[in-house]
Structure 1
């Protein structure tokens, strides 16, 4: 059975989730992908949840409009790279080429988004590995490995055995923001918490970081709107 839809222009797909812990209907709009989720008590009739959604239609549409539409990456589309907008253009040859205002991607048009996404993952890995090497040396603690993912809930993480994980979309952010996230996760090699000692460690190996944290809070979600 397909998920219900809130009719209108445009129609809005709804995701219904039943929870034994829910005592009332709650509504959530993801800022990452625009998904509208209704969480409802386990025994509540679906029609009541849909009626609730209809009563909140104006609020839902207002928030979706404020979020903006997803951007499908293709020739002619601009994407952020290192915090600056560049235009994706059809490339020649076999490799991706980056210039000041454009990024040229060879291959069939319907594969350009996927090819560019794979390329950016590798660029992000190289850039983050270099930053982590530098910050780990300053901290005096080695890390064991680096992995790239397309995470939605966090920009990076550090495991107890020294494994560092990062969202490859950090390559789209300003360089100083990428560096801050690298320093943040490296600092967890010494402090697996967010204690005052941890933040002191971040500042020791990176420097003042509040501006970069603020940038991520205000602009980070927008990086997930680009669909490769």
Structure 2
């Protein structure tokens, strides 16, 4: 891996990586951190990849400009909870209070309190959904863990252990339930075959809309920063 740049202003860092599976030069902009990555097949000179990036400069800059910036979680910021955007305000007491258009948290402890509260809410929603789908499927899972993962929204191990990103609770409820159905379906089909998607649809119902939402908007859930 080597780092290069598109000259500015502003300068745009480029990350070059080689892949034995690549058949042509490809370009990707991460929605999580804005990193621009060029993937090269074996034997293609770096200069050729940099020339390719130059031909795509307008596209790269327009996409970087459109990328939404990070949001530090604090009073005054806006945060989605189950798909509904609410303004964070300072509130009395030690608990978190959810209103139609606001979320009140103890002053000076907004990020820590909110992250803890959101994780508990996520666990409640995901356990409820997973239990419901597992009963419908007639299969049991062994445990559920929550993490703050960037590479995947959920997983199911061969031992039946389910893992989910707690940030799913920021998304609309049907998105969270789709991911729960997706991972529970792996208890029966440990693959992404046609049979697997038949199980997902049997558990969840039509799933294309929440799946599309996750592909198009899911990366935005990582914009919200709960620590410096």
TM-score range, shorter chain: 0.7 to 0.9
Q: Find out whether 1:98 has 2:116 as its counterpart.
A: no
Indicate the SS of the match to 2:146. Answer: strand
Unpaired stretches in structure 2, ≥5 consecutive residues:
none
Cα separation, 1, equivalents of 2:220 and 2:124 = 23
Indicate the SS of the match to 2:28. Answer: strand
Q: 1:193 aligns with which of 188, 191, 194?
A: 191
Q: Find out whether 1:144 has 2:119 as its counterpart.
A: no
Cα separation, 1, equivalents of 2:169 and 2:138 = 25
Deviates more, 1:38-47 or 1:198-207: 38-47
Q: Deviation at 1:118?
A: 2.8
Deviates more, 1:53-62 or 1:66-75: 53-62
Measured on the aligned residues, the alpha-carbon RMSD in Å equals: 2.9
Structure 1 match to 2:173: 175
Unpaired stretches in structure 1, ≥5 consecutive residues:
none
TM-score, normalising length: structure 1: 0.82
* CA displacement, residues 114-162 of structure 1 (integer Å, 9 cap, x when unaligned): 4322321221111101111111111111100111112222211100000
Structure 2 match to 1:87: 87
Deviates more, 1:86-95 or 1:55-64: 55-64
Given that residues 33 and 224 in structure 1 are in contact (C-alpha distance below 8 angstroms), is that contact kept between their aligned partners in structure 2? no
Cα separation, 2, equivalents of 1:54 and 1:199 = 40
Structure 2 match to 1:122: 120
Q: Deviation at 1:224?
A: 1.8
TM-score, normalising length: structure 2: 0.82
